[in-house]
Amino acid sequence: MGSSANQDNVASLATDFYSLLESFKETPFYHLLFEIFLVLTVLWLILFRKPRRIEKKLTEKEKQELIDEWQPEPLVPPVDANHPALNVRVLDGIVGKTIEIDGKKSLNFATFNFLNFVGNPRIADKAIQAVQKYGVGSCGPRGFYGTIDIHLELEERLAHFFNCEEGIIYSYGFSTVASIIPAYSKRNDILFVDEGVHYAIQKGVEASRSTVKWFRHNDISDLERLLAEQDIHDKKNPKKARTLRRFLIIEGLYMNYGDLCPLPRMVELKYQYKYRIFMDESVSFGTIGQTGRGVTEYYNIDRRKIDLISSSLEYSVGSIGGFAVGSSFVVDHQRLSAQGYCFSASLPPLLAAAAIEALNIMEEKDTTLCDTLMEKSKRLHRKLLDIKGYLIVGEDISPLKHLRLTNSQNTVARLEEIVEFAQTRGITITVARYLNDEHHLPEPSIRLILNVEMTDEELEFLCTVLQEARVKVTV
Amino acid sequence: MLASSSSKLSHATLVHRYPPSKLHSEEEMSDTVFSSDENEMNYKRENVTHKDDENLQCEEFEETPLYAAILTYLSYAILCLFGWLRDFLRNSNIEKKRGAVDPNAALGFVPLYQSYESFYTRNMYTRVRDIFNRPIASVPGAQFELTERISDDYNWTYRYTGKTINAINLGSYNYLGFAEKSGPCATDAINALKTYGVSSCNTRIELGTQRYHVELEQLLANFLHVESSIAFGMGFATNALNIPAVASKGDLILSDEMNHISLILGMRLSGASYQTFAHNDMKDLEAKLRAAIVHGHPRTQRPWKKIIIVVEGVYSMEGSICRLPELIALKKKYKAYLYMDEAHSVGAMGKNGRGIMDYFGIDANDVDILMGTFTKSFGSAGGYIAGKKSLIDHIRVNSHANTYASSMSAPVVQQIISSLQLLKRPEGQKRICQLADNTRYFRQKLVDMGFIVYGNKNSPVVPMLIYMPARVTRFNREMLRRGIAVVTVGFPATKLLDARVRFCISAAHTRQMLDTALMAIDEIGTDISLRYSTRHQSRRLREL
């Protein structure tokens, strides 16, 4: 019974459907077209039309209200009046082996005066002669009559000292490496940078807008890992890889840690993975190596394997400014593309004259300045290791060492107490200061800097004071 | 009434508002009437300090003549063609490749420079390289000694003959003539060297602050009539390292399109968003300010935390002066902050040499952040920022340069202190007046001869347009042959069409030196036909 009813239903449906089709055949053509058009319109409305955004058109009155309402922040936020930058020690006189603060003299273990050129009468004389010939300022950038023959002489001397083809000088130490990196590395290029580099290099890396790959400080295996990853990436897209430049940015002797970079292994990797090495030797120039020619001399590596060595004239040389040396092919590019070189006034001639005289002293035939400095650094390192409660960070041959308190006692406040105590005893040291937006903020430490003229007794005295300070502070 | 005004007009030089030329993107600035010829002949000091904004602001930027534009484009096209030809010859080893070679070339390293990037350097810049980077062998005063250098291979290498050329210096930034090797400033600098040595090898925040730094900052604050100031060792770094201390992500910076590259670098490093407005165009600035406040950040629609307007006092390539009274009005109306870079104007503008604020007679506290350099007017090196004590304290705490860069050298600081003290005395006033006189005299003569000169008539930076690269080079070399050293700039420091020569007038120039220079410009201008101006009649110097 049911099946016949079903059959009837199906049959009736079939006839209905058939009659529908028949009626289609009989309708006029335009009607069919119209129907199809309606169906397509409905389909389009459902599927493809995006909802129209209501344009926020404001009236002039509303705009004026918004403008009147808007309150900007104050130009600068309030600062803590106790911040060290607002309570600096003001000095008097020459800041050489000894400093005078508030009328009292003390031994100086804080300024970057490695070779004790500050206050050197020979250098001062040459600077005076330069003022008498050239005046003080250079009154223009290098391109527009700011190139003085003494600049050319200094560049030649620096290139000769490092046995490189060409040198170039800058008028500010910070701007040297911060202008060099963006001159070569552009957007999309790859920079492999050690995490422990100092702030100027970080700013240079930021200004270049390149892809940055940070590797753990002095950790070669981490660098190799990054290089291998990049290699795999390159093999996937070899055409693109052929246009991307790669650079390794390191320091010879790290200012924030006092240790040497593992240069030999890095040079090996350079030829394996095809990157160029830019090394900043601000601290190691004049201090490392038998004649002060830096880390390449210490490791006995051919300087031509390093593409560019940049450094500062503000540490060992005791002047102001910075420089870079390397092959002509690499260095010459900076004369048109380094912003800190092209768009800034050149170095005042008296400072260039002082730098030349300092180089003369360093290159004298029988000088043992750098050797002595390395020896004294080793001795100081041994003595410091004997003091309990301090962690010495840095190489033994490095004249720049960082001192930290052991364990969880290492805070800036405690270190500052140590510094204050040392000052009362006649030793000037300083807590290393950093800005908070460092990429990898180093742990708080006291930065100890050795002056080559310090005697053994003075080094002993330093250690005694440090020991007493430690006891006083942790009691 | 009508008769008298029309006779006045017939004697005066009128500047009409010209419609912006299609070829020349610089828009006309002003439509004020110059003072009549009579006044200009007997120029008196008092006229400048008269608080008539229109008179102080009158600037001229004549548009490029059509034929000059066409010929300039043609010149560059021909240079490019020859460049490609030479590159082809070099690559096919028909011509020897000059210049340094990459020591790592054969080892599979990615090339350090793209060949198209250095196309300009190889083929255009090197041909005319001898007009740039000329070494000098004396103090860069009003007259100096240039080291003679000769090239035997079309400027790829030089050799020095050992001789020097004596020339009048129209290129160095020596506005008040403090580039001296003897005199009170030099003596003071030498004494400072004997007392303090060359450098102190440390940063300001640690142990680099000496008494003379504190003295300099106090003196500078008094000179500029502000609460406090801070000084740094390099002018470029002052901008690049301190704008990040003042602006940060979430702020908007509106900067003039002709701002110096150090300002742009500072803006980029700060992380703030920045937009440019048309050069000295206050209407464009106002429109952008309104749009910024109403719409906020373009993507997140959040309101900006603060808006900073960055301008320069005197623009070094254009010779124009920022419209300070209007800027202050806009800034107050829209609650924005103003950063003014007075690199070229401090010392050189204003009755007392205090810069653009002095020139317009505006209170220094109206400008939020004043920046300047010591290189140009004080004959030294370095830069400063001045303003309220809260601002300077904040900069001391957060500046990159204060924490990481070496403090300034003693003789450099002493030179600034001495020159600041000298400016307060009558001798300093004399220098300021001399500079103003020299500027007006030189500019007026150039304009009267029929050359196109840009900028404000009181600005000591005098750009004269030459347009074609070959003429620019020839002008420079001919001037040197006549014993005058000038600075010529072309692409990419300026727009492609606007190659120019930029004269920097100094208080140390005597009337005789300026006349020598003018005679040389007159001769060469006739030889190479540089009298492009259609607004002013072309005349020879002897007719003036």
The answer to whether residue B38 is domain-embedded is no
The per-residue pLDDT for range A175-212, each reduced to its tens digit, is 999 999 999 999 989 999 999 999 999 999 999 999 99
Question: What's residue B116's pLDDT?
Answer: 73
Q: Are A184 and A246 in contact (CB under 8 A)?
A: no
Task: Determine what percent of chain B is predicted with pLDDT higher than 90.
Answer: 68
Minimal CA–CA distance to B406: which of A338, A202, A175, A203?
A175
Pick from A56, A65, A67, A76 the residue to mutate for testing the B interface (most B CBs within 10 Å).
Answer: A76
pLDDT for res A3:
59
- The shortest CB-CB distance from B139 to any of A92, A135, A320 is to A135
Q: Where are the alpha helices (DSSP H) in B197-316?
A: 211-224, 235-246, 261-270, 282-295
Give the nearest partner residue to A315 out of B138, B201, B214, using CB atoms.
Answer: B201
Closest CA to A167 of A356, A324, A334, A307: A324
Q: Which tens digits make up the pLDDT trace of A206-255?
A: 999 999 999 999 999 999 999 999 999 999 998 988 889 999 999 999 99
Q: Is the pLDDT of residue B10 over 60?
A: no
Measured between CB atoms, does A282 come within 8 Å of chain B? no
Regarding whether B190 and B250 lie in a shared domain, the answer is yes
To the nearest whole Å, the CA of A471 is away from the closest chain B CA by: 25
Is B197 in the same domain as B295? yes
Residues B489 and B395 in one domain: no
Instruction: Indicate whether B2 belongs to any domain.
Output: no
Q: Do B362 and B257 share a structural domain?
A: yes
Residue B7 forms part of a structural domain: no
How do residues B62-84 score in pLDDT, each as one tens digit? Answer: 888 999 999 999 999 999 999 99
Q: What is the mean pLDDT of chain A?
A: 90
Q: With 60 as the cut, is the pLDDT of residue B503 above it?
A: yes
Give the pLDDT band of residue B11 (cuts 50, 70, 90).
very low
Q: Are B197 and B224 within one domain? A: yes
Residue range of the domain that includes B306: 184-424
Distance from CA of B470 to the nearest CA of A (A): 19
Whether residue B40 lies inside any domain: the answer is no
Cβ-based contacts of B207 with chain A (< 8 Å)? 89, 91, 95, 99, 108, 110-111, 428, 430
Q: Are residues B408 and B465 in the same domain?
A: no
> B432 with B419, same domain?
no
In a domain, residue B23? The reply is no
Chain B residues lying within 8 Å of A336, measured CB to CB: 121, 125
Portion 182-221 of A in contact with B at CB < 8 A: 184, 198-200, 203, 206-207
Average pLDDT over every residue of A342-371: 91
How many other C-beta atoms lie within 10 A of the C-beta of residue A87? 9
pLDDT tens for residues B473-482? 999 999 999 9
Residue A59 in 3-state DSSP?
Answer: coil
Q: Is B243 a domain residue? A: yes
Is B52 a member of any domain? no
Å between A398 CA and nearest CA of chain B: 18
Q: Is A172 in contact with B233 (Cβ distance < 8 A)?
A: yes
What's the pLDDT band for A20 if we cut at 50, 70, 90? confident
Residue with tokens 């602050």: B209
Chain B nearest CA to A166, separation (Å): 11
| Cβ–Cβ below 8 Å for A149 and B196 | no
**Single residue among B424, B455, B485 that ends a domain in this structure:** B424
Note the pLDDT of residue B486.
Answer: 95
Which of B424, B457, B472 is the C-terminal boundary of a domain? B424
| Vertex B32 angle, CA B30 and B37, to 5° | 130
Choice among A61-70, B381-390, B405-414, B425-434 with the minimum mean pLDDT: A61-70
Least confident of A143-157, A364-378, B382-396: A364-378
Q: Is residue B136 part of a domain?
A: no
Average pLDDT (A340-356) is 94
Confidence of residue A54 (pLDDT cuts 50, 70, 90): low
Mean pLDDT over B238-254 rounds to 93
Quickly state the pLDDT bin for B49 (edges 50, 70, 90): very low
Out of A84, A274, A329, closest to residue B102 by CB: A329
pLDDT in tens, A270-316: 999 999 999 999 999 999 988 999 999 999 999 999 999 999 999 99
- d(Cα A130, Cα B215) in Å, to the nearest integer? 25
**Predicted confidence (pLDDT) at residue B539 exceeds the cutoff of 90:** no
**Inter-chain touch A138–B290, beta carbons under 8 Å:** no
**Number of folded domains that form chain B:** 3
Same domain, B420 and B433: no
Instruction: Examine the domain organization and report whether B344 and B477 are in the same domain.
Output: no
pTM of the predicted model as reported, rounded to 2 decimal places: 0.87
Q: Say yes or no to pLDDT of B85 above 70.
A: yes
Question: In this prediction, what percent of chain A has a pLDDT beyond 90?
Answer: 70
pLDDT in tens, A74-122: 999 998 888 988 988 888 888 989 998 888 899 999 999 999 999 899 9
With bands split at pLDDT 50, 70 and 90, how would you rate the model's confidence at A55? low
Vertex A59: Cα angle to A54 and A60 (nearest 5)? 150
A288 by Cβ neighbours in 10 Å (0-12 / 13-18 / 19+) ranks as: buried
> Could you give the CA distance from residue B403 to residue B204 in angstroms, rounded to a whole number?
7
Amino acid B33: pLDDT: 31
Whether residues B169 and B191 share a domain: the answer is no
Q: Which CATH number does the domain housing residue B395 bear?
A: 3.40.640.10
Let me know whether B261 and B389 are in one domain.
yes
With 0-12 CB in 10 A as exposed, 13-18 as middle and 19+ as buried, what is A52?
exposed
**Residues of chain B with C-beta less than 8 angstroms from the C-beta of A95:** 197, 200-202, 207-208, 210
Enumerate domains of chain A plus CATH numbers: 84-113+367-474 (3.90.1150.10), 121-365 (3.40.640.10)
Task: Report residue B408 as tokens.
Answer: 């300034």
- Mean pLDDT, rounded, for A51-76: 83
Same domain membership, residue B316 and residue B231: yes
pLDDT of residue B187: 94
Nearest C-alpha in B relative to A344: B236
